[in-house]
Amino acid sequence: MRLEGKNALITGASRGIGRGCAIEMAQEGANIAINYRSHPDEAEEVAGLVRSAGRKALLLKADVADREAVEDMVRKTADEFGSLDLFVSNAAYSDRELMVDADLDNFKRTIDVTMWGAFYGVRAAARQMIKQGAGGAMAVISSPHAVLAIPTSMAYNMAKAAIDHMARTASLELAQHRIRVNTVHPGWIDTPGERKFFSDEQIESEGRKLPFNRLGRPDEIGKGVVYMLSDDAAYMTGATLSIDGAVSLPWWSNRADGEM
């Protein structure tokens, strides 16, 4: 129970990696505020799983691109649970188009959710934790896209690169308050959001080409986040934890199918 007695807010927690984090953190003892923008039935399901682990759950519908809505979520979490001790910035948006053909409204939406949404959450959570005076910990879910220039993902690449640097800067600014800020780089994770770009058949086929011959799972990211937020990582801040199945390494990318 490495997070026992802690109160957490997770953005984008109704599905995918956010869901995985919520379940793993609840099993380790944390009460969970579950942010979602759509998919209310799935958010309710996550809340049920949190409660079945013996923890409190709070559902918070909000668009993280709205600064005031994010600040209100932080207030509601602290009011309901008594404090905000842990924050996971996970919500993201992405479209995949070549830069020269991109719908600029969608391009901007990617930046607004993925970059500004993360900043609004980190800032609001930090202000609450500073006010409480008891320290805290944050995990920012970023991506290998922060360092790999993936074609058709320019806006997402830009946003993830920005939040990596944001998290490192925040870790220095908040160290005096005993607030730790670290970043996670998940690899290709099997989430509902991937079905926006790929069919089940494509995901299965492409997954076999990865170094571990499969996509990662949301619970695997959740377990890494639990470590990062727990006292086991008490001397860890401004760091990046890669849980990517080696997809960011170059050695495998040009190998023939079936060969090491």
* Residue 15, pLDDT score: 96
Q: Among 157, 187, 75, which Cα is nearest to 121's?
A: 75
> Of 93, 94, 153, 160, which one is the catalytic site residue?
160
Q: Among 185, 95, 76, which Cα is nearest to 141's?
A: 185
In the Cβ-directed half-sphere of 226, how many Cα atoms lie within 13 Å? 24
Q: Which two tokens stand for residue 54?
A: 């013996």
Query: Running DSSP on this structure, what letter comes out for residue 114?
Result: I
Record the pTM: 0.94
Q: What are the structural domains, with CATH classification, of the chain?
A: 7-194+216-243 (3.40.50.720)
Alpha-helical (H) ranges within the chain are 16-27, 40-52, 67-81, 104-111, 117-132, 154-174, 200-207, 218-229
Distance of CA 142 to the CA centre of its chain: 7
* Residue 55, pLDDT score: 98
Taking a C-beta distance cutoff of 8 angstroms, is the pair 164, 155 a contact?
Answer: no
Tell me, yes or no, if 143 is annotated catalytic: yes
What's the average model confidence in pLDDT over 1-20? Answer: 97
Taking the CB of residue 240, how many other CB atoms lie within 10 A of it? 15
* Residue 253, pLDDT score: 55
Q: Which residue has the higher pLDDT, 189 or 203?
A: 189
pLDDT band at 193; cut points 50, 70, 90: confident
pLDDT one-digit tens code per residue, 22-80 = 999 999 999 999 999 999 999 999 999 999 999 999 999 999 999 999 999 999 999 99
Tell me, yes or no, if 131 is annotated catalytic: no
> Of 156, 171, 223, 230, which one is the catalytic site residue?
156
Map tokens 């619970």 to a residue: 219
Q: Among 244, 94, 132, 127, which Cα is nearest to 183's?
A: 244
* Residue 231, pLDDT score: 98
* Residue 60, pLDDT score: 98
* Residue 259, pLDDT score: 52
Q: Outline where DSSP puts E strands in 11-119.
A: 31-36, 57-61, 86-89
pLDDT band at 254; cut points 50, 70, 90: low
Burial of 2 (0-12, 13-18, 19+ CB in 10 A): middle
Tell me, yes or no, if 253 is annotated catalytic: no
| Lowest-confidence region among 86-90, 149-153, 218-222 | 149-153
Taking a C-beta distance cutoff of 8 angstroms, is the pair 84, 129 a contact?
Answer: yes
pLDDT one-digit tens code per residue, 107-126 = 999 999 999 999 999 999 99
pLDDT-above-70 percentage for the chain: 96
pLDDT one-digit tens code per residue, 137-162 = 999 999 999 999 999 999 999 999 99
Give the max Cα distance, the chain.
56
Work out the angle between the directed axes of helices 67-81 and 117-132 (0-180°, nearest 10).
40
Taking a C-beta distance cutoff of 8 angstroms, is the pair 214, 17 a contact?
Answer: no
Taking a C-beta distance cutoff of 8 angstroms, is the pair 157, 180 a contact?
Answer: no
Query: Running DSSP on this structure, what letter comes out for residue 194?
Result: G
